[in-house]
C-alpha cells in the first residue's frame, strides 16, 4: 500500500519507518528542507532504540523516502497520516493549527479517494474539524465539482498512537491494541488491511467512532499520569510516616487490579505526552463545563514533584547553596530517549542556578538538546565520572541503565563528600549504608553516616 506520513517527529518517523518495514511504500513529508536532506542522506534525526536499523534497511529497499513536497507525497497514497505537533496553547488547549493547515492544503491537491488519518494526539472533535477544513478547501479543487463528489473523495479517521519513547519501535510493531475511529466502512476496510500484519498474535484492532477514539488516547495517558502521581503522593507520605515506598509499591503492585507498572516514585513525569495531554483533557472538560478535579490535582502535584528533591538538598546544606557545585546524571525526561520536553532535570537545574549553585551534567543522548537550550549556563562532561570532579554532591535525575551499577569507589573518591540525592530511587538504602554514602531518595528514609 502507498502511504504518506506528514510530519517526521517521534510519532511520524516511527510510524513511517515501521509501516515500510511490513512492505508498504511510505513517503514521509516535512517542511524542514534541511531535515529532509539529512534523512535522505541516512541521518536519523531522533534517538530511538532500534529505529536506525529499520530506517536504513527500508531506505535501501526503496520502501521509505522523504520529501518536503506534500503534493508529491500524497499523489499515489491511499492513506495519509497526519503526525503533526499539537503544542499546548497558553490556556492549555491543544494547538491544531499545524493539522488544520495541512488539511487545508490536502483539500486543494487530492485527486482521488484518500483516507486522512489523525495520528497526532488531538482533542475530541478534531476529526470533524479536519473533515470540514478539507471540504471547504476542496471548493478550490477542479477535480471535484459537487458537494457529493467532495464528500465521497475522502474519509477522516482517528488512529491515536500509544508509543512509549524508548520502546516506540516495539510498540508499533507489536501493539497491545490498535484503536481506529471511523464511521466509514470503506476506510475501515483499508485500515484493517494496513494493521493486520501487526496483530498476528491476536491483539485487537478496536473500531469505534471518531470521538471515542480521540478520547481514548487522552484517557489512557491521563490515567497513567494519575497512577504515577498517586505513587509520588504515597512516596511523600512515606517519608513523613517513616514507611518505605518500595515495600508499599511491591505490596500494592502484586494486586492484579492495580498492576506493577507506573508505580515507581520519582521526581515527576515529563516528556511530550503526559504533561500536554493531561492539560489538554482538563481544558476540554472545562469547555463543556465539567470541572475535572482529579486531573487538576494531578497537574498540581506533578509540578511540585519535579523539584521535590531541592528542599532535601537545601536542608543538607543549611539552606545555602551559593557556591556549591553539583554533578547531575540524566537530562532526558526518561531513559532511552533524547527528549527533554518537560524533563524534571531542567527544573532542577533552574532551581539550583537560582540558588547560586553550579552544575556539571551528563546524559548519554540528551546533552546536545540541552546545550541548544541552555548554552553555557551549565557545563557538560564526556562521561558520568567526569561530572564528579570537585562536586559537592551527585544528583540523579534520569534512571539510565548505565547509572545503576557505577564504580562506587570511584564515585566516592571523586566527589568532595560522599553525598547522593537520588530523584529516581536507583540505589538501595542498604547498599548506600554499606558503602558509606549520605543518601536521600524519594519515599524512603535517608541514609546518614
Which residues are CB-contacts of 445 (< 8 A; sequence separation ≥ 6)?
239, 242, 244, 429
pLDDT of residue 110: 96
> What is the span of the domain harbouring residue 292?
218-304
Residue 431 falls within a domain, yes or no? Answer: yes
Same domain, 60 and 203: yes
User: Which of 61, 63, 57, 66 shows the shortest CA–CA distance to 24?
Assistant: 63
User: Which of 82, 96, 78 shows the shortest CA–CA distance to 154?
Assistant: 78
CB 361 within 8 A of CB 328: yes
Residue 449 falls within a domain, yes or no? Answer: no
Tell me what the pLDDT averaged over the chain comes to.
96
Residue that is last in its domain, among 288, 304, 320? 304
Scanning 110-244, the segments in alpha helix (DSSP H) are 126-138, 147-152, 168-173, 185-195, 210-241
Give per-residue pLDDT as tens, 331-384: 999 999 999 999 999 999 999 999 999 999 999 999 999 999 999 999 999 999
pLDDT of residue 98: 95
Q: Counting beta carbons within 10 angstroms of the beta carbon of residue 10, is it exposed (0 to 12), middle (13 to 18) or buried (19 or more)?
A: buried
Scanning 198-337, the segments in alpha helix (DSSP H) are 210-241, 245-253, 274-287, 293-305, 309-316
pTM of the predicted protein model: 0.90
The angle that helices 309-316 and 344-354 make with each other, rounded to 10 degrees, is 30
Which of 223-226's residues contact partners 24+ apart within 8 Å by CB, and which partners? 224/262, 224/274, 225/269, 225/274, 225/277, 225/278, 225/298, 225/302, 226/294, 226/295, 226/298
CA dist., res. 154 & res. 132, Å (int): 11
Query: From the CB of residue 443, how many other CB atoms can be counted at a distance below 10 Å?
Result: 24
Give per-residue pLDDT as tens, 277-316: 999 999 999 999 999 999 999 999 999 999 999 999 999 9
User: How far lies 98's CA from each of 31, 105, 190, in Å?
Assistant: 11, 11, 25
pLDDT of residue 71: 96
Residue that is last in its domain, among 182, 207, 232? 207
CB 78 within 8 A of CB 5: no
Same domain, 254 and 397: no
Which grid coordinates belong to 409? Answer: 569507589
Q: How many residues does the chain have?
A: 449
CATH code assigned at 100: 3.40.50.720
**In angstroms, what is the C-alpha Rg of the chain?**
24
Residue that is last in its domain, among 173, 207, 241? 207
CB 214 within 8 A of CB 124: yes
Residue 448 falls within a domain, yes or no? Answer: no
CA dist., res. 178 & res. 206, Å (int): 6
pLDDT of residue 252: 97
So which residues are the catalytic ones? Answer: 273
CB 391 within 8 A of CB 327: yes
Same domain, 293 and 376: no
CA dist., res. 273 & res. 284, Å (int): 16
Same domain, 195 and 75: yes
Same domain, 12 and 149: yes
Residue 445 falls within a domain, yes or no? Answer: no
Same domain, 354 and 333: yes
pLDDT of residue 408: 97
CB 48 within 8 A of CB 10: yes
Residue 80 falls within a domain, yes or no? Answer: yes
Same domain, 240 and 144: no
pLDDT of residue 219: 96
Same domain, 157 and 238: no
CA dist., res. 286 & res. 223, Å (int): 18
CA dihedral 312, 317, 318, 320 (to 10 degrees): -110
pLDDT of residue 88: 83
DSSP string, 113-137: -EEEEE-S---TTHHHHHHHHHHHH
Which grid coordinates belong to 54? Answer: 529499520
Which grid coordinates belong to 49? Answer: 532504540
Which grid coordinates belong to 178? Answer: 490498535
pLDDT along the chain (449 residues), means of 10: 96 97 98 96 94 97 98 97 89 89 97 96 94 96 94 97 94 97 97 97 96 96 96 97 97 96 94 90 93 95 96 97 98 95 96 98 97 97 96 98 97 97 97 98 95
Query: How wide is the angle at C-alpha 123 spanned by C-alphas 276 and 32, nearest 5°?
Result: 65
Domains of the chain: total: 3
Same domain, 315 and 401: yes
Residue 447 falls within a domain, yes or no? Answer: no
The residue ranges of DSSP E strands in 290-428, in sequence order, are 325-329, 358-362, 379-380, 393-396, 419-422
* Locus of grid cell 497513567: 224
DSSP state at residue 385: G
Amino acid at each position: 500500500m502507498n502511504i504518506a506520513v506528514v510530519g517526521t517527529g517521534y510519532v511520524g518517523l516511527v510510524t513511517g519507518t515501521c509501516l515500510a518495514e511490513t512492505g508498504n511504500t511510505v513517503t514521509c513529508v516535512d517542511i524542514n528542507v534541511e531535515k529532509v536532506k539529512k534523512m535522505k542522506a541516512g541521518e536519523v534525526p531522533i534517538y530511538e532504540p532500534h529505529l536506525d536499523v529499520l530506517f536504513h534497511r527500508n531506505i535501501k529497499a526503496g520502501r521509505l523516502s522523504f520529501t518536503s513536497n506534500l503534493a508529491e507525497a500524497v499523489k499515489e497514497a491511499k492513506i495519509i497520516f497526519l503526525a503533526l505537533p499539537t503544542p499546548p496553547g497558553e490556556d492549555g488547549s491543544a494547538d491544531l493549527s499545524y493539522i488544520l493547515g495541512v488539511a487545508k492544503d490536502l483539500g486543494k491537491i487530492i485527486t482521488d479517494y484518500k483516507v486522512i488519518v489523525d495520528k497526532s494526539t488531538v482533542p475530541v472533535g478534531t476529526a470533524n474539524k479536519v473533515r470540514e477544513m478539507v471540504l471547504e478547501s476542496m471548493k478550490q479543487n477542479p477535480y471535484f465539482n459537487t458537494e457529493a463528489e467532495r464528500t465521497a473523495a475522502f474519509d477522516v479517521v482517528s488512529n491515536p498512537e500509544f508509543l512509549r519513547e524508548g520502546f516506540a519501535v516495539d510498540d508499533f510493531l507489536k501493539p497491545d491494541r490498535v484503536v481506529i475511529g471511523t464511521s466509514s466502512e470503506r476506510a475501515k476496510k483499508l485500515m484493517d488491511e494496513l494493521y493486520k500484519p501487526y496483530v498476528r498474535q491476536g491483539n485487537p484492532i478496536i473500531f469505534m467512532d471518531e470521538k471515542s477514539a480521540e478520547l481514548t488516547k487522552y484517557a489512557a495517558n491521563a490515567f497513567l499520569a494519575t497512577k504515577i502521581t498517586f505513587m509520588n503522593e504515597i512516596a511523600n507520605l512515606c517519608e513523613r510516616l517513616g514507611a518505605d515506598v518500595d515495600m508499599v509499591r511491591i505490596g500494592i503492585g502484586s494486586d492484579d487490579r492495580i498492576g506493577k507498572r507506573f508505580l515507581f516514585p520519582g521526581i515527576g513525569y515529563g516528556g511530550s505526552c503526559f504533561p500536554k495531554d493531561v492539560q489538554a483533557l482538563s481544558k476540554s472538560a472545562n469547555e463543556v463545563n465539567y470541572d475535572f478535579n482529579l486531573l487538576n490535582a494531578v497537574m498540581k502535584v506533578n509540578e511540585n514533584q519535579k523539584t521535590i528533591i531541592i528542599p532535601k538538598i537545601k536542608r543538607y546544606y543549611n539552606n545555602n547553596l551559593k557556591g556549591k557545585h553539583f554533578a547531575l546524571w540524566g537530562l532526558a525526561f526518561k531513559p532511552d530517549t533524547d527528549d527533554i520536553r518537560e524533563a524534571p532535570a531542567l527544573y532542577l537545574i533552574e532551581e539550583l542556578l537560582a540558588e547560586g549553585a553550579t552544575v556539571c551534567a551528563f546524559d548519554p543522548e540528551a546533552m546536545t538538546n540541552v546545550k541548544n537550550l541552555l548554552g553555557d549556563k551549565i557545563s557538560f562532561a564526556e562521561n558520568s565520572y567526569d561530572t564528579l570532579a570537585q562536586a559537592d554532591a551527585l544528583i540523579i535525575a534520569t534512571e539510565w541503565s548505565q547509572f545503576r551499577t557505577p564504580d562506587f569507589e570511584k564515585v566516592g573518591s571523586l566527589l568532595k563528600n560522599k553525598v547522593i540525592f537520588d530523584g529516581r530511587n536507583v540505589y538501595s538504602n542498604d547498599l548506600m549504608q554499606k558503602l558509606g554514602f549520605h543518601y536521600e531518595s524519594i519515599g524512603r528514609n535517608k541514609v546518614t553516616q
